Structure 1
């Protein structure tokens, strides 16, 4: 059947991708007209629906707030894929590997091409298609592992190498390809596949292959009878040491480092510590320094995992659990069930002794299911949020540095001859006294060697936006603050914009609430959420007053302007 013109096909594609689910009119309008709604959009949508009904029948029906397309697995391959994979994983959990392999193989066999390739230019369709494609790849990886374990490596090798070429960063595909090649007697090709992957991730991501992949490579080098990765508890196990490089220009925070070390290694300390603070206060650097101090205290090694993707979006718990399991030596599929997966993780490390650093957490829910159970494992979490909902944890809150600490850090990078008589306090009053800012200042002064610190202070005070005069390699400072802002619900984002119009300096709680009360009936709750996100910080100098950290204040002022 011909489903009609492009926008009508987009509408049908949306309903098919979300079959048996009500898709709201607003969602459909946004998908059909992603570039912006014309005045007649709703009327045109009704025409498209009416025309599609004449093509596909009454299975498209109106619901309370949108439309739904009724279908069953015998009619729609995406639904059939879901049904087969669900039954396949159920069989796996029951120990019936033969049935699981057959069902997953049938599910994978349904796949012929990308989803709705003729609509790939539509951003909403493309996002849904990408999500379905990721589910297919996960099922393909699980099926291939079962086939290789059954000895069918030759029959899957062609499909496997093709998928590995299309998805070169999926380590499970690379590991399965290496294993199948080696078992097929193609040892040189297996080693070459690992080396090509090692060079790719080093060049594109600046990282090394996972410990599991490296163990697999070593097992092939010694030409063992099997190409399976060594058992994590066996004598050939490699001890992970994933802590990043410790920064040399580290000033102050001595009490915090000592407290973390004592808490996580002492006999009466906590098993989880949380380091929080506003953007740029040096949470990750503090965690790494404390981790380096404790490295020798954990027999099984140190794990470091970021809880955000490179673009700042939160990582899914399943992705993080997969990385944690592989880092600790278990190359196995993470259970799909949201309760089984954390249980499998805790069971795997129950009798181990790891130091695990979870960097840049977005919220309590992201962290809670990753926490270890009873045992000797210790976890250190960093976050720009207070994570007040986590129970029984040791907490460290980082504020701005003192003038002496900031001076020590700046002198350590620029040298005493450049900073001895400089107006450091003017710079810190304007930009804030966080380690991130001080490092950016030193970078700027190192590049502008013709400027004195006085001249740079003048430049900073006259700049329309502080961020323009605070460069930093990697992620710009403005973008780091923007990530925290983007994570906030809209009421809190509106409140940040209101704060940007207030004069700098501390205020009392009542003044904060009053500033927001014209926008929000529940202004106190909005301000409380800002405190939880370290957008507003308490100051106890004389009475309890509240301040907006300098970087957040400048960001809010830019938004206000």
Structure 2
């Protein structure tokens, strides 16, 4: 069987190309094609076709659509669409799809370009791009998975187009490529590689003024859209044209990437890896955070390294992923992403050796050549990434020891997210705070529907206040509201009003605010004073003081001042407390509710008062501390 998906879906039955009737059977074929060689579960198919509220007969309908698909395939059905225990599997040859042929031709073309065979590269890349007949999967439903695959394929098409144009420029065909490049820079104005190619093509056609004007327009777009100056390659090209000298070789933004594994003679991976998760839908606010982070990552000294830190549910990963998508064009060597699993209650944090193995394989190192020893794998990773201009996103790190071996070589950017500041790395640290009330309302509207928020503004305001500006909490309540499109917002606001069950309401499917807080508590397990830390956290929650000083905490826990200060600082480092200034601490209300439940679990009660101090004196000390704090602004 042969299959075309780079356009409307078509199947070669042996005598003719046929279209599968019905958008839903075509969509199932699309899902099976994307998962070729492994089963696609019925549950996944149902979630794709009916993301909001599947019918009770969904599984039966899936079987019917599969039957329609098999009928369309005729005699090929029995050996192609196989029934598995959990779903269905598409079995076909490795080169049966036009996507596989496109990838093979593109890899050969970029390999030829890497060794300077521009004519051969141009021929192969032209053949690869000729396989496209329009938008991939254009007659299937744009489900979540199909949309993600279409975006991925479109990016690969554009990358192949850039490589084909590069081959044409190297052959001296710059003047003939100007019109095409003008169209591409109009469609993709943030792609610096295309602007560089247009400038080179114009300069080759003796249109120096137009080449300089192209740089001016490129810089204007980048500054206005991203607040960023052009990268060093584009700036160097601009200077060369200004001075009327020979142009530098193709910049990093246009160079094909070739990575060698041990023992290989040719490129192991012809295309730069682009492993970022999809950008976060309805990303809201954080404009000041983004502007600050972009400046750090694209400074004049070269690519930066930054740690985004904040408490559980603060949206660190969402911000980092959104930032990485904005910075992609500044890192032409590609983007690597690893979830280090430091914020998953049900998963163990990833070991550095395993994370290095994943990144080395993404860079084209054969699995059998990946070193098993961490130090050796880290050295190989640094060697392969030095001067590559890559961006490495290390998400959900536990501590600096986990991250240190994963740092790339020179001229690569690094963004890490962690609840801890990872100060041992020496990277810039960006602390993330809760969303403002207006940002929270905007986010809730973007996820659950602006019309619903506008229809019940009071209920919406109550909901966001109960969520305390935590993006995770807002995503949870939005998910619950989305699954009940006809229910009023007042219903959920009333449920959240009950403090005893508020955390129970802030969970949906695999999202849970309680689990997010539990990870911070789990991170204390390796500390020798973990029992004292848990006890102090629970006692502070039970005491219900809005603000805590070191003397007040020492009174509550009946511990010495120096020991109390050390414990408070450790809770602060674990993001289980906030601190507006030295010596003052605060526990957010949602975290307080979590800690109160932990007190019950650990059999900790507030009645454990110091024996040498009468109860009236204890309360008097607490009240005196609270009274003093009320006189301090911004408490």
Using structure 1 for the length normalisation, give the TM-score: 0.56
Picking from 209, 217, 232, the partner of 2:259 is 232
CA 1:363–1:201 in 2, change beyond 3 Å: closer, same or farther? farther
CA 1:416–1:298 in 2, change beyond 3 Å: closer, same or farther? closer
Shift of residue 436 of structure 1?
0.9
CA 1:219–1:544 in 2, change beyond 3 Å: closer, same or farther? same
Picking from 596, 614, 618, the partner of 1:557 is 596
**Does residue 481 in structure 1 map to residue 512 in structure 2?**
no
Deviations 1:170-224 (A, max 9, x none): xxxxxxxxxxxxxxxxxxxxxxxxx998543876999xxxxxx99xx879967x9
CA 1:269–1:239 in 2, change beyond 3 Å: closer, same or farther? closer
Aligned Cα root-mean-square deviation (Å): 3.7
Q: Which residue of 2 aligns with 1:66?
A: none
Paired with 1:221 and 1:411, the residues of 2 have a C-alpha distance of: 44
Deviations 1:52-83 (A, max 9, x none): xxxxxxxxxxxxxxxxxxxxxxxxxxxxxxxx
Paired with 1:218 and 1:521, the residues of 2 have a C-alpha distance of: 68
Q: Secondary structure at the match of 2:500?
A: coil
Paired with 1:519 and 1:232, the residues of 2 have a C-alpha distance of: 58
Q: Secondary structure at the match of 1:400?
A: coil
**Does residue 347 in structure 1 map to residue 388 in structure 2?**
no
Paired with 1:338 and 1:516, the residues of 2 have a C-alpha distance of: 43
The 8 Å contact of residues 481 and 551 in structure 1, kept in 2 or not, is answered as no
**Does residue 501 in structure 1 map to residue 537 in structure 2?**
no
Q: Which residue of 2 aligns with 1:430?
A: 466
Q: Which residue of 2 aligns with 1:367?
A: 403
The 8 Å contact of residues 337 and 395 in structure 2, kept in 1 or not, is answered as yes
**Does residue 536 in structure 1 map to residue 573 in structure 2?**
no
Shift of residue 253 of structure 1?
0.4
Paired with 1:294 and 1:401, the residues of 2 have a C-alpha distance of: 23
What is the 5 A alignment of 1:215-226? none
Paired with 1:366 and 1:429, the residues of 2 have a C-alpha distance of: 36
Paired with 1:405 and 1:469, the residues of 2 have a C-alpha distance of: 22
Shift of residue 433 of structure 1?
1.5
Shift of residue 356 of structure 1?
0.6
The 8 Å contact of residues 279 and 551 in structure 1, kept in 2 or not, is answered as no
Q: Which residue of 2 aligns with 1:377?
A: 412
Q: Which residue of 2 aligns with 1:316?
A: 351
Q: Secondary structure at the match of 1:275?
A: strand
CA 1:293–1:431 in 2, change beyond 3 Å: closer, same or farther? closer
Q: Which residue of 1 aligns with 2:278?
A: 245
Q: Which runs of 5+ in 1 are unaligned?
A: 1-194, 207-212
Q: Which residue of 2 aligns with 1:144?
A: none
**Does residue 255 in structure 1 map to residue 296 in structure 2?**
no
Shift of residue 346 of structure 1?
1.2
Paired with 1:450 and 1:196, the residues of 2 have a C-alpha distance of: 35
The 8 Å contact of residues 579 and 585 in structure 2, kept in 1 or not, is answered as yes
The 8 Å contact of residues 249 and 412 in structure 1, kept in 2 or not, is answered as yes
Q: Which residue of 2 aligns with 1:395?
A: 429
Report how many aligned residue pairs link the two structures. 354
What is the 5 A alignment of 1:56-75? none
Paired with 2:352 and 2:376, the residues of 1 have a C-alpha distance of: 12
Shift of residue 544 of structure 1?
6.5
The 8 Å contact of residues 303 and 411 in structure 2, kept in 1 or not, is answered as no
Paired with 2:493 and 2:102, the residues of 1 have a C-alpha distance of: 59
CA 1:428–1:554 in 2, change beyond 3 Å: closer, same or farther? farther
Paired with 1:418 and 1:426, the residues of 2 have a C-alpha distance of: 14
**Does residue 413 in structure 1 map to residue 447 in structure 2?**
yes
Q: Secondary structure at the match of 1:507?
A: strand
Q: Secondary structure at the match of 2:440?
A: helix
The 8 Å contact of residues 441 and 461 in structure 2, kept in 1 or not, is answered as no
Paired with 2:556 and 2:39, the residues of 1 have a C-alpha distance of: 49
